[in-house]
Amino acid sequence: MLKILKYSFYDLMRSRWSYVYFVFYLILGFVLLFLNNDVDKAVITLMNIIIVLTPLIGTIFGVMYYYNSREFTELLLAQPIKRRKIFIGQYLGISISLSLSLVLGLGIPFIAYGLFRSTAIFDFGLLLVVGSFLNFIFVALSYNIALSTENKIKGFGYAILMWLFFAVVYDGVFLISLVLFNDYPLDKFSLITTMLNPIDLSRILILLKLDISALLGYTGAVFRKFFGTNIGMFLSMSVLICWILIPVFTMNKKLKKKDF
Amino acid sequence: MIEFKNLHKRFGKLTVLDGLDLAIDKGGIFAILGPNGSGKTTLIKCLLGMVIPNKGEILFNDQSVLRKWNYRNNLNYLPQIANFPPNLTVSELIKMVKNLRPKEANESEMIQLFGLEPFLSKKLGNLSGGTKQKVNILLTFMFDSEIIILDEPTTGLDPIALIHLKELIQKEKSKGKTILITTHIMSVVDELADEIVFLLDGKIYFKGSIEALKTQTQNNNLEHAIANLISKQYA
C-alpha cells in the first residue's frame, strides 16, 4: 500500500494541476494578508473560499485520477497485491498531495506574515485542518462514485452533483425547513443537520472560533454552547473522521464485487 | 496446470461466459481465439482475479485462485492497452513494478533488446503508442514466471519489435513456460501457437492443434479455417 501511495503521490506532485492549485493558494494567501491588515477578516475570507473550493477540487481530482489511471490500475491488479491496498494507496496519494498543496500554499504566506507571533495561529491551524479533512472526505466520496460508474462522463456528472448538493442544495433545504417549521423548537434539529453535512460542520467550526460568532444571535448561542466546549469540538472532529471512514469502508465493499 | 470449471459470467443482461470448461497443461503456447466480444479478455481477467465470475471455479496448480492474490506472483500479464501514469519516468515505473513483486527481474536485457535506453529518463506521458507498448512488454517479460498471459501483444509494434517479441515468446516457451495469447492476427497464431482454443457463445467451441483445426474445417489456410468457425455463428 505504501508503495502505491508513494508513486501516486510522486505522479500527482509532478502534475501541472498540483502546482496550479498550490500557486493559487499561495497568491490568495499573500494578497489577503498583505493587502488587508486584519488577520480575522483574512481567515473568514479564506474560510469561505476553502469550504467551497477544497471539496470541489477534491471531487474533480478524485474522479479524474480514477478514470485516467484505469488502464494502469489494471496492470497493478495483475500484480500480487490485494485490491484494497491498490485503491487505498491511490486514495491516500491524492488526498495527501492535495492537502499538501493547501497547507504549503497558505502556510508560506502566513509564516511570511509572522503568524507564529500572533494569536490567530489557532484559528488558522483549524482552517488548515478542516481544509485537509474536506480533501480526504470528498476524494473518498468521489472515488465511490467513480467506482460505481463505468461511464466517465456520467461519473463526472454525478460527482459534480454530489458537490453541488453538499455545498449549495443542502443549505437551501435546511433554510427552507427552518422557515417552515418555525413554530417548533429547532435547536436540536439544526445542530444535527449541521453535523450531517461536512461542509456546514466545517464552516460552523471555524466561525465559532472567531469573534463574529457573537453576531449569530440565538441559534448562535446554541451552537456556541455546543461546539465551543471540548465535547462539542471532540464530537465534531469524530463526525468528520466518520465522514472519511464510512466512504472508505463502502469503497472497500464495492471493490470486492467490482469487475475491471 | 490451469483449470476452468463451469465458469459463468454475466455483465448485466449480457452473458459472456456460459459454463465454460477448459484445462490448460503445463508448457506450450496457447492461442485463445474467437470473434469480437466472445469473452477472450473476460476469460483471462477471470484468471487474473480482475473479473469475478458469477459461478464456477478456477484452479491454478490444483488450488483455487478466486479471491486470492499471492498466486499472481507466478503470473505475468500484458494488458491490451498500455497507459501509464503520465508524470513518472520509464525507469521509475520499472522500479515501481519491481518493487511490487518479491522477485528478481532482468530488465536490462529487455531494455537493450527493444532499444529503450534513450527513453528511460523520459516521462511516460510523452512516449508514442509503440514505445509505450514496448515498455508494457518489458514490464511483462522482465520477471521469470510459470505463466505468461498476453492480451493482443502486437498492437502498435514496428516490424523489428514484432520480430523481437516473437523470439522472446519462443525463448520463454523453450524454458517450459505456459503462454496464453489472444490476438486477431492469424500469422502470429500460425507461427507461434501449439494449440488453439476457440471461444464461441461463452463456451469452448474448439480446442486442439492447428493441424486438427485444418482437417476439421477441411481448409488448408488457417485464416480461412478460423473464418469458417466464426461464420457458423452468423449462419
Q: Report the range of poorest mean pLDDT among A231-235, B138-142, B202-206.
A: A231-235
**Position A204 confidence tier, pLDDT thresholds 50, 70, 90:** confident
Structure confidence by residue, pLDDT tens digits, B1-14: 888 999 899 988 88
Rounded to whole angstroms, how far apart are CA atoms B225 and B227? 5
Quick check: A80 and B102 CB within 8 A? yes
Please, are residues A93 and A9 in contact by the beta-carbon 8 Å criterion?
Answer: yes
The boundaries of the domain holding residue A218 are 2-257
pLDDT at B216: 83
* Residues whose CB falls within 8 Å of the CB of residue B157, separated by 6 or more in sequence, listed in order: B130, B133, B134, B165
Exposure class string for A164-176: b at 16+ Cβ within 10 A, else e: eebbeebbeebee
> In this model, does residue A70 exceed pLDDT 60?
yes
Quick check: B73 and A3 CB within 8 A? no
A11 → chain B, closest CA residue: B87
**How many angstroms separate the CA of residue B11 from the nearest CA in chain A?**
9
Structure confidence by residue, pLDDT tens digits, A103-137: 999 989 888 887 666 777 788 888 899 999 999 99
Taking CB atoms and an 8 Å cutoff, what residues of chain A touch B84?
A: 71-72, 75
Please, are residues A18 and A97 in contact by the beta-carbon 8 Å criterion?
Answer: yes
pLDDT at A211: 65
A-B interface: how many C-beta pairs under 8 angstroms?
A: 74
- Beta strands B55-60 and B2-11: pairing type? antiparallel
C-alpha cell at A167: 455545498
Chain B touched by A183 (CB under 8 Å): no
Q: How many other β-carbons are positioned within 10 Å of the β-carbon of residue A238? A: 12
Chain B touched by A74 (CB under 8 Å): yes
Quick check: B100 and A81 CB within 8 A? yes
Exposure class string for A34-50: b at 16+ Cβ within 10 A, else e: eeeeebeebbbebbeeb
pLDDT at A36: 79
Of B79, B88, B139, the CB nearest to A11: B88
> In this model, does residue A98 exceed pLDDT 70?
yes
Query: H or E element: which one contains A47?
Result: helix A39-68
| Percent of all residues in chain B with a pLDDT value above 90, rounded to a whole number | 17
* Residues whose CB falls within 8 Å of the CB of residue A249, separated by 6 or more in sequence, listed in order: none
Please, are residues B148 and B172 in contact by the beta-carbon 8 Å criterion?
Answer: yes
Mean pLDDT of B60-89: 86
Bridge partners of B32, per DSSP, are B182, B197
> In this model, does residue A192 exceed pLDDT 60?
yes
**What average pLDDT does chain B have?**
87
Q: Report the range of poorest mean pLDDT among A101-105, A139-143, A165-169, A180-184.
A: A180-184
Q: Name the class of domain B2-234.
A: alpha beta
Chain B touched by A78 (CB under 8 Å): yes
Please tell me the total count of domains within chain A.
1
Taking CB atoms and an 8 Å cutoff, what residues of chain B touch A76?
A: 100
Rounded to whole angstroms, how far apart are CA atoms B47 and B51? 8
pLDDT at A144: 95
- Find the radius of gyration of the CA atoms of chain B: 18
Rounded to whole angstroms, how far apart are CA atoms A240 and A199? 10
> In this model, does residue A220 exceed pLDDT 70?
no
Structure confidence by residue, pLDDT tens digits, B144-195: 888 999 998 888 888 888 898 999 999 999 999 999 999 888 888 888 889 9
Mean pLDDT of B50-61: 89
pLDDT at A212: 65
Sheet holding B63-64, edge to edge: B14-24, B2-11, B55-60, B63-64
> In this model, does residue B214 exceed pLDDT 90?
no
B67 → chain A, closest CA residue: A256
Structure confidence by residue, pLDDT tens digits, A37-61: 777 788 888 888 999 999 999 999 9
| Percent of all residues in chain A with a pLDDT value above 90, rounded to a whole number | 43
| Percent of all residues in chain B with a pLDDT value above 70, rounded to a whole number | 98
What ipTM did this prediction achieve?
0.83
Please, are residues B137 and B165 in contact by the beta-carbon 8 Å criterion?
Answer: yes
pLDDT at B234: 60
Where does residue B162 rank: exposed (0-12), middle (13-18), buried (19+ CB within 10 A)? middle
Residue showing cell 500484458: B78
Of A11, A78, A260, the CB nearest to B85: A11
Q: Quick one: three-class SS letters along chain B?
A: CEEEEEEEEEECCEEEEEEEEEEECCCEEEEEECCCCCCHHHHHHHHHCCCCCCEEEEEECCEECCCCCHHHHHEEEECCCCCCCCCCEHHHHHHHHHHHCCCCECHHHHHHHCCCHHHCCCEHHHCCHHHHHHHHHHHHHCECCCEEEEECCCCCCCHHHHHHHHHHHHHHHHCCCEEEEECCCHHHHHHHCCEEEEEECCEEEEEECHHHHHHHHCCCCHHHHHHHHHHHHHC
> In this model, does residue A147 exceed pLDDT 90?
yes
> In this model, does residue A102 exceed pLDDT 90?
yes
> In this model, does residue B235 exceed pLDDT 60?
no
Of A71, A76, A258, the CB nearest to B81: A71
Of B50, B99, B101, the CB nearest to A74: B50
Which residues of B sit within 8 Å Cβ distance of A?
A: 11, 45, 48-52, 69-73, 75, 77, 79, 81-88, 92, 96-97, 99-102, 139
Of B49, B84, B100, the CB nearest to A72: B84
Tell me which amino acid residue B123 is.
K
Sheet holding B203-208, edge to edge: B75-78, B147-151, B178-182, B28-33, B195-200, B203-208
